[in-house]
């Protein structure tokens, strides 16, 4: 199956996976009437073997199909880290199946025959969710790239700044001088393109959870803490 009546190359795309050709054709026509492109597949394996365009959109899956069911396909996509929103549309749904699908992340679970507007509303919500996910993913990718430009010490300072630590506390935690903390902090802010603490927190929140969860001591080796001596000469390049 191929792209049905493509109007653009980057607009929303709804992928229809249903073994009933009549259902696929009817949904294609309905989507086309509101300017949404669609692709048709008659089975889960056919969909999995296809090369799909990278466009925002959603999947509309029939639950009961020969071979792999819609629920099976949902689990396979999740295991591959494919996060496209899913709307289930089935004539054989029951409460237990609906609950299972929604718990696994489905946007909606509709029973055939669904009202045209109900179906379009569910698809619109799914497309909006995918657009939002892609924005977050893009921001996260940018933030990770900037994070990788930081030195180990700058990363430590970042992790401490976002916990609310002031320069004096960071200096004690890392066993370096306040002057050095200020230098690392300034460099870190510039590299992350953060013009303020509020902006910095935004960058921090867009980083993947595994990075944000790292303890400071795992970001880079931490110098042994010591109480600064009044007469000691501390190099600003520590």
Instruction: Give the Cα separation of 193 and 208 in Å (integer).
Output: 18
pLDDT of residue 14: 95
Instruction: Give the Cα separation of 196 and 20 in Å (integer).
Output: 56
CA distances from 201 to 73, 140, 144, 205, 218 (A): 37, 13, 14, 6, 20
pLDDT of residue 98: 75
pLDDT of residue 196: 92
In the predicted model, residues of the chain with pLDDT beneath 70 are: 1-9, 93-94, 218-238
Instruction: State pTM to two decimals.
Output: 0.63
pLDDT of residue 8: 57
Residue labelled with tokens 């931490």: 222
Give the three-class secondary structure for 59.
strand
For 65, phi then psi, to 5°, come to: -135, 155
CA distances from 18 to 42, 44, 211 (A): 5, 8, 40
**Under 8 Å between Cβ of 145 and 127:** no
pLDDT of residue 11: 86
Residue labelled with tokens 């909006």: 128
pLDDT of residue 229: 43
Token couple for 114? 């669904």
For 113, phi then psi, to 5°, come to: -85, 125
């Amino acid at each position: 199956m191929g792209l049905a009546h493509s109007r653009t190359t980057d607009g929303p795309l709804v992928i229809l996976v249903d073994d009933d050709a009549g259902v696929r054709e009817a949904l294609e026509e309905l989507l086309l009437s509101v300017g949404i492109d669609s692709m048709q597949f008659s089975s889960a394996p056919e969909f999995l073997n296809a090369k799909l365009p990278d466009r925002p959109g959603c999947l509309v899956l029939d639950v009961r199909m020969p071979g792999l069911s819609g629920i099976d396909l949902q689990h396979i996509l999740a295991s591959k880290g494919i996060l496209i929103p899913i709307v289930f549309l089935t004539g054989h749904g029951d409460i237990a199946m609906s609950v299972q699908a929604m718990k696994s992340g489905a946007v909606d679970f509709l029973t055939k025959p669904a009202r045209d507007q109900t179906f379009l509303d569910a698809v619109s919500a799914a497309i909006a969710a995918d657009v939002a996910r892609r924005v977050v993913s893009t921001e996260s990718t940018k933030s990770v790239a900037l994070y990788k430009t930081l030195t180990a010490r700058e990363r430590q300072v970042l992790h401490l700044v976002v916990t609310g630590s002031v320069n004096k506390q960071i200096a004690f935690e890392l066993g370096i001088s306040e002057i050095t903390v200020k230098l690392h902090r300034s460099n870190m802010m510039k590299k992350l393109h953060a013009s303020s603490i509020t902006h910095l927190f935004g960058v921090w929140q867009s980083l993947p959870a595994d990075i944000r969860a790292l303890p400071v001591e795992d970001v880079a080796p931490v110098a042994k803490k010591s109480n600064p001596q009044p007469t000691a000469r501390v190099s600003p390049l520590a």
